[in-house]
Structure 1
Amino acid sequence: MKKADYHIHSDFSPDSTLTMDQACEIAISLGLEELCFTDHFEIAEDIRIDYTKYRQAVFRARERYGKQLSLKVGLEVGFDKYSQHQIQEYLGDKDFDFVIGSLHRAEGLDLFNGDFFRGKELKVAFSDYFKVIHESIPSFGFSVLGHITLIKRFFLLLKVNPSDIDWSYYDEEIQAILQDLIAGGKGIELNLRNPLIDLDFRVLRLYKELGGEIITLGTDSHHTTSMHTMEEGFQALREVGFRYYCVFDQLKPLFVSI
């Protein structure tokens, strides 16, 4: 089985210390056969990657590691409903293999520092999070929706025990997101940066029940210590009943048997 990590940040991302060489060497040691670099592009944070230098760096890495590792040029685009036109303008004349669309800000507020959740009852805050994703689903040419279960990263900040949460309460909002993605020929990412929880499995099951097929796996690594095998993800897909996951070439999904 071909093993591919489709969410890796190099030091082209301001929050990453991982060089492309380091990522490639670790990937080979882990038995991976393909990496897609997905460095950040964020309008709200004024993070605009130098496409030419970025692409050249991936091509140089291909020259060094190409006999052992397939390397793809990707991007993680932080989106909201206000920045879509600017994002499309940036992407329009560029050649990417894969684009993740990720919600990092909601209603103009930063998710990571807790601003979006502050002052809200938890059930309302999580419901609002999914509603904002649905309202903001990108119109630009993205491949998959990144880390739909991002909220699990904030449990410590919000002093939440995830086992106390009835995730079925959010099924309607999650289904609306997934239905729009499927109708638009887009997929989802199973993000493996943090251990999978019941919410991840719930999303996978809903996606399969609705007929969704396009899924990528990614560790969302930013540092040498965060790269790891993706067996947890493959096992989760098998458990839910998926027989394939996806890699991409020139924005086209290719299905890989698991």
Structure 2
Amino acid sequence: MYDYHTHSTYSDGDYLRSMLAAAEAAGLDGVGFADHCMVLPAEWAVRFRREYGFNFDATYDRRREAIDSLRGDFDLDVFDAAEVDYEPGHETEIRSFLADADFDYAIGSVHALDGANVHAVDHFAALPESRRRDLVEAYFEKLVSLVESELFEIAAHPDLIERNPALRGYATREQYERVADAFADSRTVPEVNAGRVRRDYGEFHPTPEFFEVLDSRGVDFTLGSDAHDAGSVGPLADELRACADERGLEPVRPER
């Protein structure tokens, strides 16, 4: 049982030692730290990094040293990874950063739409329904581009838009099929993500319909709790186990 997607204080998560202790107590065999990372040169991205303190592109070596010093204290495989924001047109910058950083694996994610974070309910709720539908289409276009770029071993929460009630329910089967075809032809694999299964959204990513389309294409999956605090690691590990059993999943390890 491996959880490849957790966060630490090197972005917006909990202390490394606390997360590792929780992972060991949960009976995990391994845990991966994939702290948020942005290397986009766009003005909005630079401003976001400064305002929120997401400077992992400058501190990943310090976290690596901390992980190395903690490995001997826990009976776990511990992975040094990153969750990197993806934007089409910036593949060169991302590829260069990942080559220099040499993580165990990289997770790619689409977080930005219409100049806002996908989680910004008020921003999207103020838009006409037709515009919201167009933005959902834009989200899946970005996701296809992310997968086809093959910059990443894992694609995070592949229907993140579902967490936002202003964007929820607009995804179509045709969009799912387009993304599934991209995954089927790529080394990048999606994750089953439990990040909001115990919170307001209350569901896994991908949705059952999206999962069925991906599964019909023979797409593999990894498992990721997306845990940001030590108290969530154990409960989310239980949720992931139950989901894998129910869906008959045989999760894979990310391959570089």
Q: TM-score, normalised by structure 2?
A: 0.81
* Pairing of 1:117-128 with structure 2 (within 5 A): 118-121=126-129, 122-128=132-138
Q: Aligned pair 1:38/2:46, yes or no?
A: no
CA offsets per residue over residues 184-216 of structure 1, 9 Å max, x none? 221001110112269622222111101112x11
Residue in structure 2 matching 1:29, options 14, 25, 28: 25
Aligned AA (2:186): G
Q: How many residues align?
A: 234
Relative to structure 1, the CA distance from residue 207 to residue 41 in structure 2 (aligned partners, 3 Å threshold; closer, same or farther) is same
Against the structure 1 CA distance between its residues 87 and 128, is the aligned structure 2 distance closer, same or farther, given a 3 Å change threshold?
A: closer
Spell out the pairing of 1:242-257 with structure 2 (5 A cutoff).
242=249, 244-248=250-254, 251-252=255-256
Quick check: 1:54 aligned with 2:63?
yes
Structure 1 distance, partners of 2:177, 2:97, is: 30
CA deviation map 1:19-69 (0-9, x unaligned): 11000111111111211110111132343242321211111111222xx11
Within 2, Cα distance between the matches of 1:199 and 1:222?
19
Report the counterpart of residue 188 of structure 1 in structure 2: 190
Q: What SS does the aligned partner of 1:38 have? A: strand
Instruction: Tell me which residue corresponds to 1:211.
Output: 218
Q: Which residue of 1 aligns with 2:72?
A: 63
Aligned match of 1:101: 108
More strand per residue: 1
1:201–1:240: 8 Å Cα contact kept in structure 2?
A: no
The SS at the match of 1:92 is helix
* Distance in 2 of aligned mates of 1:198 and 1:96: 24
Q: Which one is further off, 226-235 or 95-104?
A: 226-235
SS in 1 for 2:108: strand
State whether residues 80 and 106 of structure 1, in contact with CA within 8 Å, keep that contact through their aligned partners in structure 2. Answer: no
The alignment yields a C-alpha RMSD, in angstroms, of 2.4
| Equivalent position amino acid for 1:28 in 2 | E
Q: Cα–Cα, structure 1 residues 233 and 19, in superposed 2: closer, same or farther, change >3 Å?
A: same
Normalized per residue, the structure richer in helix is: 2
For structure 2, the 5+ residue unaligned runs are 40-44, 50-54, 198-202
Distance 2:145 2:72 in 1: 42
Q: Cα gap change, 1:152/1:91 in structure 2, threshold over 3 Å: closer, same or farther?
A: same
Instruction: Report the Cα offset of residue 88 of structure 1.
Output: 0.9
The alignment-based identity, stated in percent, is 24
Alpha-carbon separation, structure 2, partners of 1:57 and 1:36: 14
Take 2:244 and 2:209, find their aligned partners in 1: how far apart are those partners? Answer: 12
* In structure 1, distance between residues paired with 2:26 and 2:247: 25
Residues 83, 133 of structure 1: alpha-carbon distance in 2 compared, 3 angstrom cutoff: same
197 and 92 in structure 1: CA distance in 2 versus 1, 3 angstrom threshold: closer
Confirm or deny: 8 A CA contact 2:158 2:206 kept in the other structure: no
Does 2:134 align with 1:132?
A: no
Residue of structure 2 equivalent to 1:12: 10
Q: TM-score, normalised by structure 1?
A: 0.80
